[in-house]
């Protein structure tokens, strides 16, 4: 599972770790942590759809769902999973209704430099993230099934399909790094708070001890 232009190998464990963190995301929270990548979420979405489509049960799909995204390319999903199909259709419908408006909002942001995202951008972003998170959870559910003796790991074929897109790999890595850095910062903050509590407790204890000694001396 190597990316064509990535100097570091993208392993099955890397793929699994990314899926775990994606699956834990709330679809209502906006993406963060990406930099210097064109269409990071779009590439994640497209490659996760490819990964889902590489599963053996893809042949049981009633049809192949497709969406052409201007300036990006084609999204393609082949799966019998009802939830994924409905989320793909929902994203497609919102894109058809709000895609052009979202493009204008992005263009306006580039000119004005404003930080506030427009309503169409957010509507599309939430719909796309629901699809990405659901795809990650579906792949993890497949991975949790007992292995078949003599067969490759269940995530092997989806992982190879995902890794065919080096931009998606870069986006996955940046997403994982951002989440892990946030978690590390939280741990450091909790440790600092715990040390402060201990210091206060020790200080209070020492003060109380000194007060007891002083009172004893006075009684003597």
Q: In this predicted structure, what is the pLDDT of residue 4?
A: 47
Q: 73-77 and 65-69 as β-strands: parallel, antiparallel, unpaired?
A: antiparallel
Report the percentage of the chain scoring pLDDT > 70: 81
* Token output for 9: 């190998």
User: pTM for the whole thing?
Assistant: 0.80
Judged against a pLDDT cut of 60, whether residue 157 lies above it is answered with: yes
Distances in whole angstroms, Cα of residue 172 to Cα of each of 36, 160, 165: 13, 14, 11
Mean of pLDDT values over 28-53:
92
Is residue 144 over pLDDT 60?
yes
Q: 150 and 44 in contact (C-beta within 8 Å)?
A: no
Average pLDDT over residues 16-36: 91
pLDDT tens digits, residue range 172-217?
Answer: 999 999 999 988 875 656 666 555 565 555 565 665 665 555 555 5
How much is the average pLDDT of 133-155? 92
Top mean pLDDT of 4-8, 33-37, 52-56 is at 52-56
């Amino acid at each position: 599972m190597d990316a064509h232009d990535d100097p570091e190998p993208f392993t099955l464990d890397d793929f699994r770790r990314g899926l775990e963190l994606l699956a834990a995301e709330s679809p209502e929270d906006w993406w963060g942590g990406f930099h210097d990548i064109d269409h990071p979420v779009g590439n994640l979405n497209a490659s996760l759809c490819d990964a889902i489509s590489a599963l053996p049960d893809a042949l049981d799909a009633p049809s192949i769902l497709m969406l052409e995204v201007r300036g990006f390319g084609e999204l393609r999903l082949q799966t019998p999973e009802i939830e994924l199909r409905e989320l793909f259709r929902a994203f497609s419908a919102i894109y058809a209704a709000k895609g052009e408006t979202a493009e204008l909002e992005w263009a306006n942001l580039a000119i004005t430099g404003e930080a506030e995202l427009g309503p169409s951008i957010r509507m599309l972003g939430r719909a796309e993230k629901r699809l990405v998170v659901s795809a990650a959870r579906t792949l993890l559910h497949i991975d949790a099934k007992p292995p078949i003796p003599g067969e490759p790991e269940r995530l092997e074929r989806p992982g190879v399909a995902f890794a065919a897109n080096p931009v998606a790999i870069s986006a996955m890595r940046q997403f994982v790094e951002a989440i892990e850095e946030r978690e590390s910062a939280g741990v450091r903050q909790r440790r600092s708070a715990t040390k402060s509590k201990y210091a206060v407790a020790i200080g209070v204890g020492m003060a109380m001890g000194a007060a007891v000694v002083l009172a004893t001396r006075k009684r003597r």
